[in-house]
Amino acid sequence: MVLFSATSAFADGTTNKLSRLADNLIKSYSQKTQEATTLAVFPLNTDEALAKNNLGQSVSDILARRFFESKSFTLVERSEFNRILSEQKLHASGIVESDTQVRLGKMMGAKTILLGNIQKVGKNYQVNVRLVNVESGEVTAAAYDEFPVSAFQEDLRITTDETVGISPFVDFRSNDNKTKAIVSSYDISAPKAFSSILGGIGVFYKPTGHAMFTFDAFSGSTFFRTRTSDHAYFYELTLRGSSFGAAYAGKFSEKLPFSLGAGFTAVAGYWNNMPLKKSNTVSVPFIRARIEFNPKQRFGLALAVKYDLQKIEVKDRNGAHNTLVEFSQIAIQPAFTLYF
């Protein structure tokens, strides 16, 4: 007989609590009947987020170990379990109907099956398990326990965070206009400062609970004016750029995730309405802090503060001449996020 071995990812505290849950089932069953039985242990049903961590199988492995140690139960061999599933073209984690589990239990030669579910309710995960007689369909024992979300996730080293997100954002900056202007009693000088609003879209990937990689692409145009003694000039500057970065992702609470990261941004300027070509491409390092509010599982509202460690300077004529625009090193970036 092959023991349903428990995964080493569980911390002792959570393992012990799950073992006590199995002990309660064994005790309840023994009080009702003294007969030994053959037991098939099915993975517990979970939602999609927990299923990605194979959590239902891991928890059922912990429970099965206690049944293996009891003299009242003989566990169905793992090879027989997998053979029946293969013949029925099923996967253990995809079996959610009790009737199907009972039918499969009979095919495996089991007289009793263990089934149940794990669900998140408020700030706790609820684990409900029961033993069912495959012949009569009678529930011969049942047990229940709650685990705090933080302990359950940390001890079992799981995360319910989505790993991929798309985040449209807006980049607000206050910038300096460096173009020259002739000032006299008849003329108006060029403005010394102007605001820019760039639209962009970010994509991030979280391979683990705390590591995050980011990519942003953004573009936008801004208008400003300079004036000589003879003419007033209105210039349009279009910026296009992208950035790559990495960040540490954490949580103040379940609905308030945050990230602290750094990376590099590459920006190029394109002039319109004036006889200049594309400016030089500028690459600067940045740091960024971001906080988000998640009212729903797949949606978030975020606010980031980005600081460029060097100034982004846009020059004229492919960078051969003077600096015309100097962008602020601080940007405010509101955004919303869709998770997949």
Structural element, H or E, at residue 101: helix 98-107
Reported as a single tens digit per residue, the pLDDT across 231-270 is 555 667 788 889 999 999 988 887 898 999 999 999 887 7
Kindly state whether residues 223 and 300 are assigned to the same domain. yes
Are residues 175 and 282 located together in one domain of the fold? yes
Same domain, 169 and 138: no
Residue 217 included in any domain: yes
4, part of any domain: no
- Structurally, how many domains does the chain consist of? 2
Looking at per-residue pLDDT, the higher value among 22 and 177 belongs to 22
CATH number for the domain including 299?
2.40.160.20
Cα angle 39, 43, 47 (rounded to 5 degrees) comes to 150
The residue ranking higher by pLDDT, 208 or 115, is: 115
Query: 159: which 2 tokens?
Result: 């995360």
Q: What number is the average pLDDT over the span 99-125?
A: 85
Residues 176 and 78 in one domain: no
pLDDT in tens, 73-107: 998 887 777 787 777 766 555 555 677 888 888 88
Domain stops at, among 132, 155, 178: 155
> Does residue 325 form part of some domain?
yes
Q: Are residues 169 and 211 in the same domain?
A: yes
Domain with 198 in it: 164-339
Residue 214: the pLDDT is 94
CATH code assigned at 39: 3.40.50.10610
Are 132 and 168 within one domain? no
Residues 66 and 280: their CA atoms lie apart, in Å, by 68
pLDDT in tens, 197-211: 889 999 999 887 789
Residues 55 and 134 in one domain: yes
| Tokens of residue 36, six digits | 């030994």
pTM for the full predicted model? 0.55
**Count of CA atoms in the C-beta half-sphere (13 A) of 79:** 2
